[in-house]
Amino acid sequence: MTEKLHAPVIAWFDAHARDLPWRRPEAGAWGVMVSEFMLQQTPVNRVLPVYEQWLARWPRPADLAKEAPGEAVRAWGRLGYPRRALRLHGAAVAITERHGGDVPTEHAQLLALPGIGEYTAAAVASFAYGQRHPVLDTNVRRVLARAVTGVQYPPNATTAAERRLARELLPEEEATAARWAAASMELGALVCTAKNEGCARCPIAAQCAWRLAGKPEHQGPPRRGQTYAGTDRQVRGKLLAVLREAHTPVPQSVLDRVWHEPVQRARALDGLVTDGLVEPLPGGLYRLPLT
């Protein structure tokens, strides 16, 4: 089963992979790491301009580490989930202090960096260094759920069974395993999508367990929706937008104008302060963090 999946998916990837800047050799491990942070829960078309600006400004981890963390939040722009910017800054500082400014090659060293979880460590080790690791993002999980397990969608959170399956499916040869990781991810992004899957274009449609079963409807817990309008996330985004544009501390009265509901506005601002994304100053002033 495994070899029947590998060859057609990798051949499809060789023919159809998008030319993305973090896949080019000149991106290096730092470019791969930056892309992985930015692409979490954010589509490629929104990431591309911010990624290019980020690497032009901070081509190495040490360049970012020298800056205040608030500058990372400012440069993050409207990518969303801005705590990722703080985590990436923290990783850059650790890489500079512990590894001489070079993204470490060992999976365990990557995992030990602040802000780096199981997925990101595996992705950087695989995509930047060609190592053999199971890389389980949403797209890969969906491909495996359908092609192998025979269900429409994977569970809401990654399970031990999914990790075991991903390990079992890994090609033995390191370079092939790294290629498989990238290829299965791209297949989920472009063909085996969450909605309107393109089975006619899929290189493994003939052996897909879900398609062969007649594409049964999802039977698990309801899938999490991505609501935004009117949420605390939206209010946080509006508050951060004001602070990103300002290069001097902002008074409370200016922040009060961004949202009409004072209780939600105060809760969102308190959350930003708690998360380290905003620094309160005496006199009711606020700024992006300097330390």
Active site residue 197: no
Q: Look up residue 114 and give its amino acid.
A: P
* Distance of alpha carbon 167 from alpha carbon 48, whole angstroms: 31
* Whether 268 contacts 235, CB under 8 Å: yes
**DSSP class per residue in 142-195:** HHHIIIII--SS--SS--HHHHHHHHHHS-SSHHHHHHHHHHHHHHHHHTS-SS
How is residue 192 written in tokens?
């085996």
* Whether 107 contacts 130, CB under 8 Å: no
How is residue 169 written in tokens?
């499916």
Other CB atoms within 10 A of residue 155 CB: 14
Identified catalytic residue from 3, 26, 36, 279: 36
Question: Helices marked H in the chain — which ranges?
Answer: 2-16, 28-39, 44-57, 61-65, 69-76, 83-98, 107-111, 118-129, 138-144, 160-169, 174-190, 209-212, 232-245, 252-255, 262-274
Catalytic residue set: 36
